[in-house]
Structure 1
Amino acid sequence: MTAATPVPSAARDVLVLMGLPLLAVLALPAAFAGGGTRRWFGGRADSQRAQAQEAKDAAAAAFYELDTAQRDLRISVETITAVDDSPAARQAVAEFEALGRRIDEASQRYIQAVDATDLDRHDLEASAAARARTALVAAKDELLNIKRELDRFASGLGPLLGKAETELARVAPAVERARQALRGAGAALDAARGAGLGADDLAARLAALAPELTKLNEGAGRHGVRPTLQRAERVAREAEAIRSAAERLPEQAAEIDHRLVSLRTRAQALTTRAGQVEPVLSELRRRFTAACWQDLQHVPEQAAQNVRQAEAKLKEAQAARDAQRWPDATALLSTVRALLNATDEAVSAAGDRLARLNAVQKDPQTEIERTRFAIRDAQRLAMSGRTAPDPRHARPLDDSVARLERAVAGLEEGRHPDYWHFLTETEAVRQTVAQVVARIRQERGAGR
C-alpha cells in the first residue's frame, strides 16, 4: 500500500537516506515547494483551504494507521501460514488477501484525492478547496471503515494465531533437544572407542545425521515449521538410539564373552554325554523289541555331528567378537545354542526312554491306573448336573476307554510286549481326555 503525493526525486532520495519511510515522504506534500513556506490569503478561500488541510491531515493519519495495522497483521498471517495448512487457515489467508485488495483500492483513491488539488497554491479557489476537502473526507472515511474491518478480522484470528505461535514455540526446544542428543551420541561413541571397542556402524549412523543437522540449523523459515519439528524429533530419536547402543557396548562385549565360555563348556559336556548314548542303546536292544528303540538309532551320530557344527560356529562367533562385529557374533551364538539344545534333547531322550521302559516293564499297572483315573474324572465332569452325558463328550471318552483296553491287551500278547507302544497309547488317551475336559469347562463357562 503506497501514497503518491508528488515529491521531487532528489528530495525523496534524501529523505529515504535519512531513514524516513516512503509513506512519510509521501505525507510531506510541499516540503520542498516554494522554499517550504506556505502562502496564505485571507477571505473565504483561506477558510476552505484550512478545512481541506485538516481533512488532508486526518486522511493521512487514517492512511498511516491502516498501513501499520495491515503490516502488523501480515506478520500474524504469515505466522499462521508457516505452521497451519488447514482449511480454516487457508480461508483466513484468502480473506486477508481480499482485504488487501480493498486496502490498495482505497489507498489509491486517497492518493488521487491528495494529488488532485495543490492546497498550497496561492491562487487556490474556495470551490476547489471545498471539493478537495470533500474528496479527502470521503477517502478518510473509507480508510477508517476498512481499518475497522481489518480489526474485526484480526480479532477472529486469535485461535489460529495462538495455535501457530504455540507450534513456533516448540521449534527452538525441539531443535535444541536434537542437538543435545547428537552431542550425547558423540560422547558415548568416544567413550566406547576409548575402551577399545569398535563402533564403526554406530559412527556411520551418526554421520548420516549430519545433513539433517544442517537443515535444522538452517531453520524453520527455510524448511517449514512442521517439517523442522518432525526432523528434530527424528534426529533426537536416532541419536538417542545411537547413544544407548554405544553405552551398551561394554556390557554387550562382556555378555558375548560369557556366552562363548559357557557354550564351549556345554559343548564339551555334551560330547561326553553323547558318548554314553551307545551303551543305553545297547541295553534297549538287548531287553526290548525293536519298536522301542529304532527311532533312537541316529542319536549318537546326530549328537556328534551337532557338537561339531556347534564348535565350528563357536570359532566363527569368536572371530566375529574379535572383529567387534557384535550382531554377527550374537547371531552365531544363537545358532550354537539351538544346536546344543537339540543335542541335549536327543541325548536325554535315550536315557529317558530306558527309564520309562524299565518302570512300565516292572509295574505297568501304575500307568494303567493313572490313565483310568483321568478317564473316570472326565466322565464325572461330563455327568455333573446332567442325567445323560452330551454325546460330543461321551463319544471321545468311550473311545478312550476302548483304546486303553486295547493297549492293556497288547501287553499280554507274546513274550516281548511293545512297552513303548503301550506308553505312547496311554499318553495319547490322557491327551484326548484332557481336551474333552477343557471343552466341557469352556462350554459351561460360556453358559452353554
Structure 2
Amino acid sequence: MASTFMRKWFAGDSGDDPVAVEAYGAMTTAFLQSDQLITAIEDGVTAARAIDPAGQVTQQWAPIRERHSAATATYLQLQRPGPDSPYQSAPIYQECTRTLEQVCAEMTRFRNRFSDSLGRARAAQHMAVQSAQQARLDANAAVTALDDAENLPFLQYPSVIAAVDVLAAQIRKLDAVTDSAHRRDVAGAVTDAAAAVHAALAAAPGRGIEAQNAVRSIATRISAVATRAEQMGPARSALLREFSAACSNDLVDNDRVAAAASAAADQELRAARAEIAAARPESALAHCSSARDHLRAADDAVDAVTHRLRSLREIRSDPAQAADKVRFRLRDAQQLALQRDLVGEWGSVLDAQVDRIDRARAALTGVHPDYWTYMTDLEAIDRFINGVVDRMRGRA
C-alpha cells in the first residue's frame, strides 16, 4: 500500500511517461527560478519607478514583466491538479520550459544591466521609509509634549495653535504621499513642523515678559513721537516763509496724519495692556506690532516735513552742486558707453540727459524758485542714468 501511495506523488508509476515526468520537473524548476528572479528584481523596479516613472528601468522592465506573466499563466495551466492527474506529453512541458528559461535569461540580463540603478533606487526607498518612520516618531513626541501639564496653559497661544496646525497638515501629506522620491521631503517637513511645535512651547513661558517689555517700549515711542511732532509747526512755517508753496503742498496734512497715527498707536497700546491683564500675551504682542506700524507712519509724517526743510535749504545754498553731482554720474556713464563700444546704442540717450539737467537748472527763477521740483527732476534724471548703466553692464 505504501509503495502504491508514493508512486502517485513521485515518478516511477508504470503508467507515467518518464520523459513527461522529467519534462514536468524541468518546467517546475524553470518556473521557480523565474519566480526567484522576479522577486529579486521587482522591488528595485518599483523603487526606480517611484523616482522616475518614465525612466529606462521602467520602460525596459515592462515588456519583460508581461512576458513573464504570460509564461506564468501557461505554467499554471499545465500544473497537475492532483497526484492522480495524468502527465501531459513532454513537448508541451518542454515548450513552456523554453519560454520560462528565455524569460529568466532576459531578467538576468536586465538585472545585470541595471544593477546600479536598482541598488540606488532601493537605497533611496529605504531612506525614504526610514525618514517617514523618524518623522512619525518626531510628530508623536510633539503631540506628547502638548499633553504635558506644564504646557497646558499655553495650548491656546496663537503661536502654538499655528504650529500644531502646520504639523497636522504635514502629517496628512505624509499619510497621502505614495512617491518615495517625495516622501523624504514630506518627512523632512513633518520633522521641521514637530520642531516648530517644541519651539513654540519653549518660547511660550517668556511671552508674558516679552509683551510687558513691548508695551513699555511702545509707550516710550509714543511719547517720543509726540515730542518730535511739536517740531512740525515751526518747520512747516519755515517752509512757507522761505520757499514757494509748491515746495510743500504735499505736506499740508502731515500734522493731522501724524496725530491720527499716534492716536491709533495709543489705542493699540491700551488694547495690548488689556490683553496682558487677561493673560493673553501673544495677543498683546500682536497689538504692539500694529502700534509699531502706526508709529512708523507718524514718524514718516514728521520726518517728511523736517527732512524737506533741510533738503531745500541745502539745495538753495548751492543749486549748482546738486546738478554737478548728476553731471558727474552722466560723464561716468558716457565713458562706460565708450569703453564697451555702446555709443551707437546709448550715446544719444545719454546726451539727451545733458539737456534735461540744463532745463531743470534754468527753471530756477523768481523770488522763490521751485527748489522741490528742481530736486525731484534731478533725482529722476539720476535714476534714469543709473538704469542705463545697469543695462550696459548687463544687470537689467
Paired amino acid for 2:72: G
Q: Quick check: 1:189–1:243 contact (8 Å CA) kept in 2?
A: no
Q: Quick check: 1:182–1:240 contact (8 Å CA) kept in 2?
A: no
Distance 1:264 1:170, change over 3 A: same
Distance 1:138 1:267, change over 3 A: same
Query: Which of the numbers 219, 222, 227 marks the counterpart of 1:272?
Result: 227
Which residue does 1:96 correspond to in 2? Answer: 68
Distance 1:445 1:110, change over 3 A: same
Within-5 A mapping of 1:268-417: 268-282=223-237, 284=239, 290-291=245-246, 294-317=249-272, 324=280, 326=282, 332-356=287-311, 364=316, 366-374=317-325, 377=328, 390-407=347-364, 409-410=365-366, 417=367
Which residue does 2:342 correspond to in 1? Answer: none
Identify unmatched segments of 5+ residues in structure 1. Answer: 1-7, 12-23, 31-37, 39-48, 117-134, 216-222, 411-416
Total equivalences in the alignment: 364
Mean Cα displacement is larger for which, 66-75 or 189-198? 189-198
Q: What is the CA deviation profile of residues 135-162 of structure 1, one whole-angstrom value per residue up to 9, with x for unaligned ones?
A: 7654664465345324313313413893
User: Equivalents in 1 of 2:132, 2:392: separation in Å?
Assistant: 60
Query: Which of the numbers 418, 434, 441 marks the counterpart of 2:368?
Result: 418
User: Equivalents in 1 of 2:44, 2:31: separation in Å?
Assistant: 20
Which residue does 2:130 correspond to in 1? Answer: 173
Distance 1:376 1:308, change over 3 A: closer
Q: Quick check: 1:184–1:243 contact (8 Å CA) kept in 2?
A: no
Distance 1:181 1:319, change over 3 A: farther
Within-5 A mapping of 1:109-188: 115=86, 138=91, 141-142=94-95, 144-158=97-111, 159=114, 162=118, 165-166=122-123, 169-170=126-127, 172-186=129-143
Which residue does 2:29 correspond to in 1? Answer: 65
Measured after TM superposition, the shift of residue 301 of structure 1 is 2.4
Paired amino acid for 2:324: F
Q: Quick check: 1:284–1:354 contact (8 Å CA) kept in 2?
A: yes
Q: Whose Rg is larger?
A: 1
Identify unmatched segments of 5+ residues in structure 2. Answer: 340-345
TM-score, structure 1 length as denominator?
0.62
Quote the RMSD (CA, aligned, Å): 4.8
Measured after TM superposition, the shift of residue 104 of structure 1 is 3.6
Matched, 1:234 2:186: yes
Distance 1:290 1:201, change over 3 A: closer
User: Equivalents in 2 of 1:150, 1:379: separation in Å?
Assistant: 78
User: Equivalents in 1 of 2:128, 2:318: separation in Å?
Assistant: 74
User: Equivalents in 1 of 2:188, 2:356: separation in Å?
Assistant: 65
Which residue does 1:5 correspond to in 2? Answer: none
Mean Cα displacement is larger for which, 243-252 or 204-213? 204-213
Q: Secondary structure at the match of 1:418?
A: coil
Which residue does 1:75 correspond to in 2? Answer: 39
Distance 1:92 1:148, change over 3 A: closer
Measured after TM superposition, the shift of residue 430 of structure 1 is 2.9
Which residue does 1:434 correspond to in 2? Answer: 382
Which residue does 2:161 correspond to in 1? Answer: 200
Q: Secondary structure at the match of 1:308?
A: helix
The sequence identity of aligned pairs, in percent, is 18
Q: Quick check: 1:212–1:231 contact (8 Å CA) kept in 2?
A: no
Matched, 1:261 2:216: yes
Distance 1:80 1:200, change over 3 A: same
Distance 1:368 1:316, change over 3 A: same
User: Equivalents in 1 of 2:223, 2:256: separation in Å?
Assistant: 16
Paired amino acid for 1:202: A
Q: Quick check: 2:71–2:96 contact (8 Å CA) kept in 1?
A: no
User: Equivalents in 2 of 1:268, 1:378: separation in Å?
Assistant: 43
TM-score, structure 2 length as denominator?
0.69
Matched, 1:246 2:187: no
Which residue does 2:343 correspond to in 1? Answer: none
Measured after TM superposition, the shift of residue 275 of structure 1 is 3.2
User: Equivalents in 2 of 1:107, 1:342: separation in Å?
Assistant: 87
Q: Quick check: 2:142–2:197 contact (8 Å CA) kept in 1?
A: no
User: Equivalents in 2 of 1:55, 1:439: separation in Å?
Assistant: 91
Measured after TM superposition, the shift of residue 289 of structure 1 is 5.5
